[in-house]
Amino acid sequence: MNVMLKRAYELPTESDGTRVLVDRLWPRGLAKAKACIDLWLKEVAPSTELRQWFGHDPEKWQEFKRRYRAELKNNPAWAELQKLAQQKDITLVYAARDQLHNEAVILKQWLDASA
């Protein structure tokens, strides 16, 4: 299992494996054909309320991680993502500009820890 991260606006490569979009909203200005997304797992993304509260504010990062992990605990989409990551290499695709403070980072950390 190899879990990688990539912004949706970066060009896809063969080494990406299965590309999984983990945002609730489709990336602004990105054509679906150009994105080369294999699976859009929007249900694994933070709730709208949590996403809006966080607003990509790094000062809220620790609390965001705590709340997001709590949301994931009983989320069937999380189980689906875990199963997929155990079967093949995946790239978690996200749209956020901040490459250190977004849900894909948290998902990768959790997937790596469960490997």
Domain ranges for the chain, please list them: 3-114
Rounded to whole angstroms, the Cα distance separating 1 from 86 reads 6
The H or E element spanning position 63 is helix 61-72
Question: What pLDDT is stored for residue 1 in this prediction?
Answer: 75
Under 8 Å CB-to-CB from 19, ≥6 apart: which residues?
6, 12, 35, 36, 37, 38, 39, 90, 91, 93
Pairing of strands 39-40, 18-21: parallel
Q: Left (φ > 0), alpha (ψ -120 to 50) or beta: where does 7 sit?
A: beta
Helix (H, G, I), strand (E, B) or coil at 62: helix
Asked whether the predicted pLDDT for residue 115 surpasses 90, the reply is no
pLDDT tens for each residue of 15-39: 999 999 999 999 999 998 889 999 9
pLDDT tens for each residue of 76-114: 999 999 999 999 999 999 999 999 999 999 999 999 998
Rounded to whole angstroms, the Cα distance separating 61 from 86 reads 27
